[in-house]
Structure 1
Amino acid sequence: MPDFNEKNDTELIFHLKDGDETAFTGIYNRYWDKLYFLAYQKLKDTAAAEEIVQDVFLTLWKRKSILQIRSLPVYLAAMVRYAVYHYIAKEKQVQEYQQNWKRHQTLSIDAAEALENKLLLEIIETLSNDLPEKCRLVFQYNKLEDRPLHEVADTLHISTKTAEAHLTKALRIIRSRFGKGLYSLFI
């Protein structure tokens, strides 16, 4: 069995094409570190660089009988560069897919919340229309338009205490009709 550490690249390629595993091991030992360094420079990711170099050597072994190699270091470096570019493109696609999925999920959640809010607002408006007029106005200004109670009192030309009494009455009516579950949403 020849010592492939002493052989040049041309001899290693010749023996590799014949399926000589020791020639493959010689190429592997000679170029693994260099190819790893090349992949790591581009990716800055140890695991990805190792995986790419392993894949390059696996491809080299699988295609050994059909290879037309003039310069082994140039050929292997080109394989690594191609594999790195392929890896980067694939990672970019994965990231775009994940971003699109997150965007879709966010839109779906937002749409569902908007629909729920719209339905809830319709229920509140329908209920508030059944309240006595001053109670309705105080409730709508304070709860639906989110205006402070003292501002509502000024708008309706009533005292703040009277506005509080109307709001309390409106909330009591709402609670009696819808129970504590919906009542807690209005407070």
Structure 2
Amino acid sequence: MVLDERADHDLLIDIRNDDKSSFQELFERYWEMLFRFCNSILEDEDHCQDIIQEIFTDLWQRRRILHIKNVKAFLFQAVRNKVAKHIRHIKLKRKHLEAIAKLSEVGLSADTIYELKELEHTIDEHLKILPSRCYRIFRLSRFENYSNKEIAQQLDISIRTVETQISRATKLLRASLKPELLVIVVLLFYYFF
């Protein structure tokens, strides 16, 4: 066990120095194990393959800034986080579909539904002027239903930083949207997000 951890550690050092063969070796060492774990929860082979691919892609992209003590634990935690995100996403989709069904029951016209989509686009355009990190945090919080703690863990930042970034995005929306649009946004977030 200690030898495996040491070998993993050596691979990480090489990966940090852009060694693609070490990255490939790490990928081959853990891919099947991670896939089986993921599939035991989701029972969706295609999506599990995507999840594992995303994890390794992220590892490669962040290779110089990640400080990993135990590769196996890190990778399994990454799978757990991605699976939880996928499950939340499915629940959120279901929630949105239920909300659309409720809106349909209320008798919203196609024009009104189109206007709501336009409003969502307008909100997103206003948010895109934020720094990318702030934008990402706000989207994770308000559109993907992540808790502040989950966002902090995923992005390796403090919960206070998450709160500050969400507050910053909210202030921007308040300042940039017309008052009547702001009321609609608040209602949308309250009832649908």
TM-superposed deviation, 1:97:
0.1
Name the counterpart of 1:172.
Answer: none
* Equivalent residue, structure 2, for 1:105: 104
Please report how far the alpha carbon of residue 81 of structure 1 lies from its aligned counterpart in structure 2 after TM superposition: 0.6
Equivalences, count: 103
Shift of 1:79: 0.7
Structure 2 unaligned spans of 5+ = 1-5, 109-193
Percent of matched pairs sharing the same residue? 24
Structure 1, unmatched stretches of 5+, are 1-6, 110-187
Q: CA deviation at 1:58?
A: 0.7
Quote the residue 1:21 is aligned against. Answer: 20
Which of 96-105 and 22-31 deviates more? 96-105
1:37 aligns with 2:36: yes
Deviations 1:50-71 (A, max 9, x none): 1111110111000101111111
TM-score (norm 1): 0.52
Aligned to 1:11: 10
**Which aligned pairs between 1:120-135 and structure 2 lie closer than 5 A?**
none
Q: Which residue of 1 aligns with 2:63?
A: 64
Matched residues in 2 for 1:47 and 1:98: separation? Answer: 23
What residue in structure 2 maps to residue 82 of structure 1?
81
How far 1:89 sits from its partner (Å)?
0.8
CA distance in 1, matches of 2:7, 2:105: 59
Give SS of 2:107's match. Answer: helix
Larger Rg: 1
Aligned-partner SS, 1:8: helix
User: C-alpha separation between the residues in 1 aligned to 2:94 and 2:35?
Assistant: 24
Partners of 1:69 and 1:8 lie apart in 2 by 13
Aligned-residue Cα RMSD (Å) equals 1.5
**How far did 1:23 drift?**
0.7
**CA drift at 1:8:** 1.5
Give the TM-score taking structure 2 as reference length.
Answer: 0.51
Q: 1 or 2 for the larger relative contact order (CA 8 Å, sep ≥6)? A: 2
Moved over 4 A (4+): none
